[in-house]
Amino acid sequence: MMNTNTSPLKRLSLAEEVADRLQELITSGKYAVGQQLPTEPELMLQFSVGRSSIREAVKVLAHRGLVRVQQGLGTFVLSQSGTGEALSQRLQRADFEDLNEVRFLLEVKIAEKAAMHRNSRDIEKMKGFLKKRFEYASNNQLEPCIQADINFHNALAEAGKNEIMRDLYRTVAEHLKKSFLLRFANTDSFVRTQHYHDALLQSVIDKDPKKALVWATKISDQNK
């Protein structure tokens, strides 16, 4: 089996380094689509790393859509282009304004979907989170207020019954939480927008997607 580039790896994340080098070999055509990658022992020797680093590197490549692992058979090249970096990794390096804009766009559609598909259990969850949001905002408890706000919108997303939209919103909101803690000095803006959230919830309870869309848009406008 060929040994391409056996120089020692210097980055802290050996798995990422191995994954990047293997990706270069795949995208350059050194390994063709359908071809099996070298075995773990061969890759360990090739890159001078341990088994755990090789296994983690393969997971990274699989997540990028470049390889598939067939238990008992080996790892095979699935694509020479893949799907790029993982969404979570992309969001970590995203500009705050861009990420926040995506959040607003999602919240508007989520509100509309929630008004169409919510059930009684969804309503109770949203009421609970919104009540906590108000309590924390009134007492200037910033971090729990931010979390309650996120939980409320997560509950809205769950009520919309679109699992992809729900998971995407949850991921985006989680990446924004740290930025919120740095950007907000107090809960004044949360107090100011509480009645918008109350109106949004009522429109969802009333199963009025048009009003839900209006109130969600107003919330977004207030936070820009």
What are the pLDDT digits (tens) for 113-127? 999 999 999 999 999
The DSSP secondary-structure symbol of 31 reads S
- Cα 23 to Cα 39, 46, 127: the distances in Å are 16, 14, 48
pLDDT at 1 over 60: no
Q: Which whole number is the average pLDDT over 130-154?
A: 97
Q: What is the pLDDT of residue 2?
A: 43
pLDDT at 221 over 90: no
Q: Which whole number is the average pLDDT over 120-137?
A: 97
Euclidean distance between CA atoms 173 and 149, whole angstroms: 10
With contact defined as beta carbons under 8 Å apart, do 166 and 158 qualify? yes
Main-chain dihedrals φ then ψ at residue 44, nearest 5 degrees: -60, -40
The letter for the amino acid at 124 is E
What is the value of pTM for the model shown? 0.64
pLDDT digits over 30-74, tens only? 999 999 999 999 999 999 999 999 999 999 898 888 899 998 899
Q: Which long-range contacts (CB under 8 A, 24 or more apart) does 217-223 make?
A: 217/108, 219/107, 219/193, 220/104, 220/107, 220/108, 222/189, 222/192, 222/193, 222/196, 223/100, 223/104, 223/189, 223/193
More confident residue, 116 or 98: 116
More confident residue, 13 or 62: 62
pLDDT band at 82 (very low <50, low <70, confident <90, very high): low
Tokens of 101: 């804009």
**Which range is least confidently modeled, 6-20, 30-44, 100-114, 125-139?**
6-20
More confident residue, 221 or 212: 212
| Helix spans in the chain (H) | 14-27, 40-47, 51-63, 87-92, 96-117, 120-138, 142-159, 163-183, 188-192, 194-205, 209-223
Q: Residue 76, SS3?
A: strand
Q: Which whole number is the average pLDDT over 217-224?
A: 81
pLDDT digits over 184-214, tens only? 999 999 999 999 999 999 999 999 999 999 9
69: left (phi over 0), alpha (psi -120 to 50) or beta: beta
